[in-house]
Amino acid sequence: MFDFTKLDVYQKAKLFCVTVHKSISSKHLNRTADDQLRRASLSVMLNIAEGSSRFSNKDRKNFMVIARGSAFESAAILEYLFEISAIKEEEYNNHINNLEEISKMLFGLIQHLDKH
């Protein structure tokens, strides 16, 4: 088993990614928004995984910063989709709440890596 799979933040990011992909698969979104949201949500979990493989805290931190940036990007796309009525309010709120939790966890991890 890879170490990153034991991280709560990775598990939450993976669940977010899977949930988003399932949720947008049934919708007819414009190709750009669909592709970008899929890529941004996948980027969150992939950067957490890749960062866990690095030996220095500086390198690990860099990947966690990128993962957090992808979480923010996902939130912006979701906000856009909600504003154009492509997703419903409940779905939007669920995704945003998950992203906020992931973002806070990544922020805590980034701070921890800064201290060590």
Find the CATH number of the domain harbouring 109.
1.20.1440.60
42 vs 30: CA distance, rounded Å: 18
Q: ∠ CA 26-85-106 to the nearest 5 degrees? A: 75
45 vs 12: CA distance, rounded Å: 9
Range of the domain at 91: 3-115
Any idea what DSSP says for residue 53? T
| Tokens, residue 27 | 């919708």
Burial bucket for residue 25 (CB in 10 Å: 0-12, 13-18, 19+): exposed
Q: How many domains does the chain have?
A: 1
Q: What is the pLDDT of residue 81?
A: 96
Q: What is the pLDDT of residue 4?
A: 95
| Tokens, residue 48 | 């957490």
Task: Assign residue 29 a region (left: φ > 0; alpha: ψ between -120 and 50; beta: otherwise).
Answer: beta
Q: What is the pLDDT of residue 1?
A: 83
Q: Provide block-wise average pLDDT over 10 residues at a time, the chain (116 residues).
A: 94 97 89 95 98 95 98 98 96 98 98 90
Q: What is the pLDDT of residue 26?
A: 85
Q: What is the pLDDT of residue 116?
A: 78
**90 Cβ partners below 8 Å, 6+ apart?**
none
